Amino acid sequence: MIKSVALPLLLAVLACDVANAAEDDGTASLSFDGIVLGRVLTEVELRPLFFDFDTGRFMAPPPGVLNVEAAQPYELAELNYTDKLKAWIRQEGLDAAFQTDGQSITIVIFEMKVGTWWEKAGNLPKRTPQSIIEDLKSVENDKWVSFQEVIPKEKHRAMLPFVTREGGVGQLSYLEVGELFSPSSISLRYEIARLDLSKNPVPQVPEPAILQDFANYLVVSANDGQLQLRVPAGRGTIIIQKDTVVVTSATHRDLIAERIGSGWLDVDAARKRVLVRGHGGEVMLRAVGNRVRVDMDKRVAYDTRITISLPKVEVGPMIKWNDK
């Protein structure tokens, strides 16, 4: 004999299931997995760089977005956030901006939930994405500038918790003037856990394959002084057009900036050069007419087309090198 379940009890169970489903926003399964991401932002003394924690991409606004001439210096702390600049920052999914004068770091964070730096002595806290969400649940992100600070070089900062507008949960664990590279660079490290894209409160800006870290090869060519980079199978192209970098992909909309980069690539239209970094060192690329100039390890070469293997950074074997 099958026992019947009392209707009130059944309704209570169903109501509980519905409530639990409504609360299942994807955050329960988030984890940092012990992965700390690192970026070095170079040449940020004269012009700041804008940064996306969700993708690790950095960018500088393209001409026409700022009321500043191309390549002209400006101070992040005094920046006028026009509607055009705000629209570009939101469109590209950018979360923060950084600048240094070699003695301090200016950091500005946009439309994010941000906590406070860990100031206590001793061991740093072991936060989880869930504890960060709980700590910041009462923090609003309705202000355009949600955090701004000038950090002296000698003052150590650690463990700044945040939630991005796209739902990334993380903490900025390390930030200092990057003397390992130059006094005009900034080293930062952070952890981030991202929601399933279908559960994001704001759609995340997709990352074209050509900007992602990958083990493949890069094809470089030049046409009338314009440098072009592409990866196989039509997965992305980068073109430097005058003072603008345009990143195109068959599956993503164009990204437009004056400077754009990731962990292995730094494309700067103002300086007319591309840096490719990997396990084997660094290569600088420039366009000279319809040829590509390659600088690596105090050697230089020219060719109409260059192939670079990654992640070790090896230039095609047929290239003819000359000492500088």
User: pLDDT tens across 283-292, in order?
Assistant: 999 999 999 9
Nearest to 163 by CA among 175, 187, 146, 177: 146
Averaged pLDDT of the chain: 84
213-224 average pLDDT score: 83
Q: Let me know if residue 204 belongs to a domain.
A: no
- Under DSSP, the state recorded for 166 is T
Same domain, 70 and 178: yes
172 and 70 housed in the same domain? yes
User: Which of 113-122, 140-149, 230-239, 288-297 is modeled with the greatest confidence?
Assistant: 288-297
pLDDT tens-digit map of 182-205: 778 999 999 999 765 555 555 566
Structural domain includes residue 97: yes
C-alpha–C-alpha distance, residues 324 and 206, integer Å: 40
Range of 56-70, 96-110, 222-236, 269-283 with top mean pLDDT? 96-110
Asked whether residue 98 falls in the same domain as residue 195, the answer is yes
Neighbour tally for 293: CB within 10 Å: 18
Report, as an integer, the average pLDDT of 218-235: 88
Same-domain pairing of 38 and 146: yes
Residues 149 and 286 in one domain: no
Of 109 and 151, the structure prediction assigns the larger pLDDT to: 109
What percent of the chain is modeled with pLDDT above 70?
A: 84
Domain contains 151? yes
Give the per-residue pLDDT at 119: 72
Residues 67 and 126 in one domain: yes
Q: Say yes or no: 170 and 144 in one domain.
A: yes
- Using CA atoms, how far residue 21 sits from 11, 14, 25, 26, 130, in Å, is 15, 11, 8, 10, 18
Which one has a higher pLDDT value, 25 or 107? 107
Question: Which of 82-86, 174-178, 317-321 shows the highest mean pLDDT?
Answer: 82-86
Does residue 18 sit within a domain?
Answer: no
Which of 146, 168, 199 corresponds to the end of one domain? 199
Same domain, 168 and 194: yes
Which among 181, 199, 217 is the end of a domain? 199
Task: Calculate mean pLDDT across residues 129-156.
Answer: 89
Same domain for 158 and 138: yes
Which of 230, 302, 243 shows the shortest CA–CA distance to 272?
243
The residue segments making up the domain with residue 279 are 209-314
In a domain, 16, yes or no: no
Query: Is 310 in the same domain as 269?
Result: yes
Flag whether pLDDT at 238 surpasses 90. yes
Residue 263 is assigned to a structural domain of this protein = yes
Question: What is the arrangement of strands in the sheet containing 104-110, beginning at the earlier edge strand?
Answer: 145-152, 104-110, 96-100, 49-52, 57-60, 259-261, 265-268, 273-278, 281-288, 291-296, 299-303, 322-323
Examine the domain organization and report whether 195 and 59 are in the same domain.
yes
What is the reported pTM? 0.85
Is 5 a member of any domain? no
The continuous run of DSSP H or E covering 134 comes out as: helix 129-135
Please report the pLDDT score of residue 65 as a whole number. Answer: 92
Rounded average pLDDT over 250-278: 89
297 in the same domain as 242: yes
How many structural domains is the chain composed of? 2
**Are the CB atoms for 313 and 246 separated by under 8 Å?**
no
Last residue of a domain, one of 171, 199, 227: 199
Preceding omega of 129 cis (within 30 degrees of 0): no
How far is residue 116's CA from residue 23's CA, in Å, rounded to a whole number?
27
pLDDT for 159 equals 86
List residues bridging with 69 in a β-sheet. Answer: none
Mean pLDDT of 49-58: 94
- Does some domain include residue 23? no
